[in-house]
Amino acid sequence: MTQQQEQLSAFMDGEAQDNDIIDVIKQDAELRAKWQRYHVIRSGLRKEASVAPQVDITASVAAALENEPTIMAPKKSRWSKVPVLGSVVPFARQTGQYAVAASVAAAFILGYQQFNQPELPNEPFMTAPTNPQGGMAPVSLQQTRTLPRNDMEVMLEKKRKVNALIADHEQQVKIKQAEEQSEEAKQNNQPESQP
């Protein structure tokens, strides 16, 4: 018995010396049960358990297969004979379809967000590599490297100066439009007021 057990575990690990053990397992019900338990334990240890340990479906599947061949169309389940439940069960199946549809929609939204992310600037400014565009040096803090503590301040100061220029540009655009239009409006008003 212990020898058979050793052979069984060796066989499971793929280290069996010969194939006699297969025949032994086939014939011995107790060994077959052990064979199954070992597998459940192993897959449980590997966290890949897909079968609950106490559920043995092999026997029921075999029995079902034996009774099967003559049936061409599935029988109506017993549930459908009960009036209300009979309608609810197909409805429940339908909701399954909606769940699939909803999960597809969710996946789409996720995908969309991921697709958009690279374009989202995390900061107000995105630095673009300047080298490909011509002989400009990329953004660099070479001059201040010797004083790494000042890096942050230098960066902030830089940002402040950049912001000042951009804000000024935006303000100038507004002023320009207002000025141009007020001049135009004056010119347009004069001929209108004459007649």
- Closest separation in Å from C-beta 10 to other proteins: 56
Quick count: other Cβ atoms within 10 Å of Cβ 11?
Answer: 20
Question: Nearer to other proteins by C-beta: 60 or 87?
Answer: 87
The Cα–Cα gap between 35 and 41 comes to 10
The Cα–Cα gap between 142 and 149 comes to 14
3-state class (DSSP) for residue 152: helix
Contact positions vs other proteins (CB under 8 A): 80, 83-84, 86-88, 90-91, 94-95, 98, 116, 119-121, 124-128, 130, 133-134, 136-141, 143, 154, 158, 160-186, 188-189
The Cα–Cα gap between 30 and 34 comes to 6
Question: Nearer to other proteins by C-beta: 33 or 112?
Answer: 112
- Closest separation in Å from C-beta 2 to other proteins: 59
- Closest separation in Å from C-beta 163 to other proteins: 6
The Cα–Cα gap between 156 and 90 comes to 64
Question: Nearer to other proteins by C-beta: 28 or 86?
Answer: 86
Question: Nearer to other proteins by C-beta: 17 or 117?
Answer: 117
The Cα–Cα gap between 101 and 96 comes to 9
- Closest separation in Å from C-beta 93 to other proteins: 11
- Closest separation in Å from C-beta 107 to other proteins: 20
The candidate with the shortest Cα–Cα distance to 41, out of 54, 53, 50, is 53
Question: Cα–chain-centroid distance for residue 14?
Answer: 37
Question: Nearer to other proteins by C-beta: 110 or 154?
Answer: 154
